[in-house]
Amino acid sequence: FLFHGKDDKTLDIADIQSRIFKAETYIKQALSVLEAKRLMNTLRESALKDPLTGLYNRRFLQDHANHVISGVLRRKTTLGLIMCDLDYFKQVNDQYGHDVGDMVLKETAVLINKGVRDTDIVIRFGGEEFFILLVDINPGDAILVAEKIRKIFDEAKIKVPNGSIQKTLSLGVSEFPGDGEGFWQCIKYADVALYKAKDTGRNKAIRFDEEMWTGDEF
């Protein structure tokens, strides 16, 4: 078969097949590169997420903290920091087993997300400890959000096999840059407030006060 182009040049079928083959090879190579990039992005995303709850993990905080901090400072807003810890979580594992413990952790992530905005960042900090970044808030708002989350959790019944259980949450709150010039220092302040909440009865949200800080410079 013969084909005529615009310049009336004759192309035989073998030439056309050769060009099609080259085009197909190029497309396949391009797709494989795109697939590789997509896979790498997926792997990177999975490395930054906790597989049990689907929340971001501590590595995400380490990798992206500077971006969040610079944005808040540039916009001259406040970053709320809330450290949360499930009260008496070990009792769940001891009494019901680790499968039920995992169910409680998953539901904890759901309940915390109910109390924050889509723009806020919830992180599984480790074990039964969770950390929340409230992005672009007004000074003083963080403790209000923490109390809202505490109440949501206190009123919730977590479904488990053969019934439901209720757990409580202790929360420690600080704000950056209001409580200190260092972001990681302010995280430590939230942690100090959390331990104050646990030491004074649990199931409460406590705002950091400088009188709580007795440690050395961070």
What SS3 state is found at 177? Answer: coil
CA distance linking residue 57 with residue 74, whole number of Å: 25
Length of the chain: 218
CA distance linking residue 113 with residue 121, whole number of Å: 9
Whether 155 is catalytic: no
Query: What are 66's two structure tokens?
Result: 């500077």
Query: What are 186's two structure tokens?
Result: 């302010």
CA distance linking residue 211 with residue 201, whole number of Å: 19
**What are residue 177's phi and psi, to 5 degrees?**
-95, 10
Please name the residues in contact with 157: beta carbons below 8 A apart, sequence gap of 6 or more: 164, 165, 166
Query: What are 73's two structure tokens?
Result: 């400072």
Active-site residue identified among 24, 107, 128, 217: 128
Which residues are annotated as catalytic? 128
